[in-house]
Structure formats: C-alpha cells, structure tokens
Amino acid sequence: MIAQISGTLAQKIPGEVIVDVAGVGYQVLIPLSVFYQLPEIGAPLSLQIYTHVREDALQLFGFLDLAEKQMFVLLIGVSGIGPKLAINILSGITAAELKRALREGDQNRLVAIPGVGRKLAERLIVELKDRMATLAPVEAETGRADGASQLVLDAVSALVNLGYKKPDAEKLVREVVKRGAESLESVLKESLRHLSP
C-alpha cells in the first residue's frame, strides 16, 4: 500500500498531478485545494497518499497533509460516497471547515459544496458528526496554530465577500500571515495592498 510519495512535480492540471520518483511518474488525483498550493513544475513535492484498489484500477489520491487524508478516508466510509465525490467535496471546503461544519451540524454550509445535496448533507452529519470529536485537531496536523488557522479562514472569507477569487485570496493571506501579520485588520490591509492595482 502506497502511503506517501516524494519526488519532483513533473506535471500538474486541476485535479491531477504526475510526480516523478526516480524516473517513474506516478499519476495522483488531488482536490483543487491541493492544486492551488502546488509548487512550480520541477520543484520537489511530497504527498500523503490514499491507495484505492478496484478490480479494474489502482488509483492514488494525494493530499498535502494528514488532516486532509484523514478526512478523505472518513468521507469514503459514508455510504454513497466514492473517492471521486470525496475529492470533489474536499475541493469545495477545507478539511478544517468541513470538520467544523460536521461537528456543528451546519447543513447549510455542506449544501453549499458543489455536488452535495440536502440528503447527502444530512447523511454526512448523521454518520460523521460524532466521529469529529475523536479526530486530531486539523490545525495541529498541518503545523498551524488554532489562532493562525482561524485568522486565515476569516481573512479569506472577507476577501471572497469583497469579490476576490478564493484561491488567490487564500494564497496571498497565507503569505501575509507567514510574514508576521497577527490581527485580522493587519492581514486584510496588507492583502488588499497587494491585490489593489
């Protein structure tokens, strides 16, 4: 069972990458959230892998951290959700936000994810709500502190509400927070300074 792949990013398109490991190219399916955080082609890349084996196929699903992989495994354990739908769900919501929505039974947030209807949202809450308490904190697994992670979510949400694209906003906000901005106001001021022409 392949659990992790480390190599060179050889190719990337939305939903899929090829990672070159010692001359062998591994095709890995990824959520859009991972795609937007990928380095340039030719850069080193390490992905947490879930290996999905069927009679007619062996597919690799990749994630940048264990929290996303853990959430993916929980999602495919829900009746009616296969790997493709689980990847689609994680493309529309971060692992941290999904965990919060499930824990709080926030059906409206789940229905806002492309491909998730009201019945599926209800099933997700019923089957996974109690399991959210047993999960390790998403922020701890990704190496971010609770406050910093919440700050990123709040700042990205504010920028999206102002009309900026989520992937662009998320990338910029993470960079601004890395540089040391600690309050929502300072993160937004710095981000808007970069976004304004």
pLDDT at 144 over 60: no
The CATH number given to whatever domain includes residue 122 is 1.10.150.20
Residues 104 and 131 in one domain: yes
Q: What is the number of structural domains in the chain?
A: 3
Residues 155 and 173 in one domain: yes
DSSP assignment string, 94-143: -HHHHHHHHHHT-HHHHHTSTT--HHHHHHHHHHHGGGGGGSPPHHHHTT
Range of the domain at 35: 4-63
Residues 179 and 190 in one domain: yes
Q: Which two tokens stand for residue 92?
A: 């529309």
Residues 171 and 152 in one domain: yes
pTM (predicted TM-score): 0.65
The CATH number given to whatever domain includes residue 169 is 1.10.8
**How far is 67 from 55, CA to CA, in rounded Å?**
28
- pLDDT tens track for 38-78: 999 999 999 999 999 888 888 999 998 888 888 899 899 88
The CATH number given to whatever domain includes residue 51 is 2.40.50.140
Top-confidence residue, 133 or 178: 178
Choosing from 45, 63, 81, the residue where a domain stops is: 63
**How far is 104 from 129, CA to CA, in rounded Å?**
8
pLDDT confidence of residue 133: 64
31-40, 140-149, 175-184: segment of lowest average pLDDT: 140-149
Residues 56 and 72 in one domain: no
* DSSP assigned state of 134: G
